[in-house]
Amino acid sequence: MIELEHVSRFFRVGEAEVHALDDVSEHVRPGEHVAIMGPSGSGKSTRLNVFGCMDRPSAGSYSLAGREVAALDDAELTLARRQLIGFVFQSFHLVPRLSAAGNVELPMLFAGVAREERGARAAAGLAAVGLSARADHRPDQLSGGERQRVAIARAMVMRPRVLLADEPTGNLDTASGAQVLDLLDRLHDEGITLVVVTHDPGVARRAERILLMRDGRIAKRLRPQEVGAGLGGAA
């Protein structure tokens, strides 16, 4: 599903060249659940941005669902993101003036889905995350956990094959975070490829394997039972 071969991503900061990713090679199989850990600045979010086609590598090769991303023009890249990838962020990124249903409908609006179908799919998406009764509420009328569940419904409404989650429980209390993680587990059980960036060892241990990043490289590849002892002070 996701194939990185010797991928690097570097930025210019003044006269210095900063390597956010440094010669990274990794494959994520269809239906796999992978967690990415590491300290701030280790390359976790940059890697997720490359996975999500929101950033292009400076060097190396990235293939998504068998297609070389570098060969896609902007329109093809937008289509690939829309059809293949869903995004969930720590800060939710909901539109404040829209209801929960309106937020879930948004990607379908951009994709040109007919109004009646948008409404039906948004209702089904909110039902799937247990929020049918909150469909008409704006984000400021929802709890943090409810906002994140709306964000997950929005991410899934286009029926993507890959879900990328950047610190999905970072702004949530323990109970709300557990609800969100249970929902992500259920989506993975249904066949979604799930990649989660997290600082939380408990979140990482839900994955099938964990990639520990340091200085733009994969420092370790861990099994869930190794998380904690295997971090070596890096998180």
Q: What is the pLDDT of residue 229?
A: 52
Q: State residue 120 phi and psi, 5-degree precision.
A: -65, -45
The verdict on residue 235 lying in a domain is: no
Residue 38 phi/psi, 5-degree rounding, is 150, 165
Confidence of residue 206 (pLDDT cuts 50, 70, 90): very high
pLDDT score at 39: 86
- Residues in CB range of 160: below 8 A, 6 or more apart: 83, 84, 85, 86, 192
Q: What is the pLDDT of residues 88-133, one digit of tens each?
A: 988 899 999 999 999 999 999 988 999 999 999 999 999 999 999 9
Is residue 234 assigned to a domain?
Answer: no
Domain that holds residue 44: 2-226
Strands (E), 29-161: 33-37, 59-64, 67-68, 85-89
Cβ–Cβ contacts within 10 Å for residue 186, how many?
Answer: 12
Across 217-233, average pLDDT: 78
Task: Among 9-18, 54-63, 220-229, name the most confident range.
Answer: 54-63
Q: Smallest Cα–Cα separation from 42: which of 28, 67, 24, 30? A: 24
Tell me, yes or no, whether 96 lies in a domain: yes
Tell me whether residue 132 is in a domain: yes
- Give domain status of residue 231, yes or no: no
Tokens (6 digits) for 130? 């247990």
Q: The domain spanning residue 198 has which CATH number? A: 3.40.50.300
Q: In the chain, how many domains are there?
A: 1
Task: Give the residue-averaged pLDDT of 158-186.
Answer: 92
At CB < 8 A and 24+ separation, what contacts does 171-174 make?
171/90, 171/91, 171/92, 171/144, 172/144, 172/145, 172/148, 173/144, 173/145
